[in-house]
Amino acid sequence: MIEKHNPNPHKSHGELKHFKIFFGLRCFVVSCILASAAIFIISTSKQERIRLRNLGSSTLRSLGSSRLCPSGREFIKEYRIAPSGSKFSEISYMAHSSQKYQGHDVVWMGSDKKQEEIHAVSLHTGALIKTYRLFVSLTGDWESISLGPCTSSSNSKTCIYIQNAGDNAAQNCSSRKCTGGRENLYIYKYQVDKYDGTRLKVVTLRYNYSHSSWPTNQADSEAIFVDWTGDKGGGKRGDIYIMTKQPYNRQDQRIGKIPVEMHEKLVPITDSKSANYYIEVKAVSKASVEVPWTDADMSRDGKLVAARRESRVYFFPRDISAGQTISDAMKKPPCDSFSQTDMSSNDKLQSESVSFMGSTYFIEASECSEKLPCTVPVPKYRLVFD
């Protein structure tokens, strides 16, 4: 007779019977749990499965933000911008206009360094529509441009914001006692209703990094964006955000904020070379990715912030329905999917600009090789959401 193996020779047959009943019940409960989990996974949508899978990735984010992230991009077309003399020899900023010209898309763009002009260009023809003069002080380094609401009102018109805050001499700054960089930085705010005239009325905002919230008293900056929607955490339409660039001390990079109430009632003037409004800017956040930022923009629905370095564009999701602020959104990891910039030819070796076209399309532009005038390639992409 073959005896059954007793897993516990020290237990009696009665105890063994009770043990088997207990063990069987435990297995039944575990099986129910596993079965329920299986049913849940089977019934979960594809998007939900992607969200669950993200939780196990090396870049951890909440379920709420992962659903806002694109899974990739689709190439749509490439526009070509004519050189227009020496106007586009080092493209550092570009923004898609809220208005069309003869039924076609328009971008505002220009080269960096000392400037006092901004150019409206047709994406359809690649030709210059008009050049506008701002009549501001011919100093500094223009590096970024962004569109956004002029005021916090829900029916606000759209304004254009140009950042004159490039400061290569401050890139090595690592304390609050630096002296080599700029003392005054500027943001020019103006509105264009029609593509006519050549002189713009401008609000000039002057600022610096003197507030104690900044780790350094000087910094380079080549990226700003304006909040299109606001949030339930205190953010408002028209808030301006500034991203500093410290390539040698990236841990000191911060994101500053100019609340809309500090600029929405300021009066624009035609000649603002000597007239400006001083604004105290506080650092409110730090991007989770420490790279040298060269531009940024926000989607019109306020759910994504695109921030770029020379070779790629990152997307930071903001869950407006959950009341997530820009400060909190930028501290969280960006989306797993990023846009890698095409650098396969001489006229695409370096890109410093990115701009949304609405909420799902975006464009970028090359600086052109060796800072020489060229036909500027402007690829257009559509963000893909699963």
Complete edge-to-edge strand list for the sheet that includes strand 295-298: 295-298, 304-308, 312-317, 339-340
Predicted local confidence at residue 10, as pLDDT: 40
pTM for this predicted structure: 0.82
A 10 A CB-CB count for 130 gives: 15
pLDDT in tens, 199-250: 788 999 999 999 999 999 999 999 999 999 999 999 999 999 999 999 999 9
The answer to whether residues 161 and 205 touch, using CB atoms and an 8 Å cutoff, is no
Predicted local confidence at residue 339, as pLDDT: 95
Query: Do strands 185-190 and 202-207 pair parallel, antiparallel, or not at all (unpaired)?
Result: antiparallel
A 10 A CB-CB count for 242 gives: 25
The answer to whether residues 187 and 240 touch, using CB atoms and an 8 Å cutoff, is yes
Predicted local confidence at residue 172, as pLDDT: 94
Predicted local confidence at residue 21, as pLDDT: 41
Predicted local confidence at residue 83, as pLDDT: 74
Predicted local confidence at residue 97, as pLDDT: 94
Secondary-structure percent of the chain, ordered helix, strand, coil, rounded to 5: 20, 35, 50
To the nearest 10°, report the CA torsion of 87, 159, 205, 332.
-100
Q: Specify the residue for token string 């080549």.
A: 222
Find the angle CA(81)-CA(192)-CA(320) to the nearest 5 degrees: 90
Tell me which residues of the chain have a pLDDT lower than 50.
Answer: 1-64
CA-CA distance, 366 to 342, in Å (whole number)? 10
Residue environment code for 329-368, b if the CB has 16+ CB neighbours within 10 A, otherwise e? bbebbbbbebbebeeeeeebebbbbbbbbeebbbbbbbbb
Q: Specify the residue for token string 């011919």.
A: 138
Provide the 3-class DSSP secondary structure of residue 125: coil
Query: Do strands 312-317 and 106-111 pair parallel, antiparallel, or not at all (unpaired)?
Result: unpaired
Predicted local confidence at residue 48, as pLDDT: 28
pLDDT in tens, 247-304: 999 999 999 999 999 999 999 887 766 678 999 999 999 999 999 999 999 999 999 9
Largest pairwise CA distance in the chain: 108
Q: Which of 60, 132, 147 is nearest to 97 (CA)?
A: 147
Find the angle CA(310)-CA(312)-CA(318) to the nearest 5 degrees: 120
Q: Which of 120, 154, 122, 116 is nearest to 138 (CA)?
A: 116
The answer to whether residues 375 and 91 touch, using CB atoms and an 8 Å cutoff, is no
From the CA atom positions of the chain, what is the Rg in Å? 27
Predicted local confidence at residue 13, as pLDDT: 44
The answer to whether residues 282 and 213 touch, using CB atoms and an 8 Å cutoff, is yes
Query: For residue 140, is it left (φ>0), alpha (ψ between -120 and 50) or beta?
Result: left
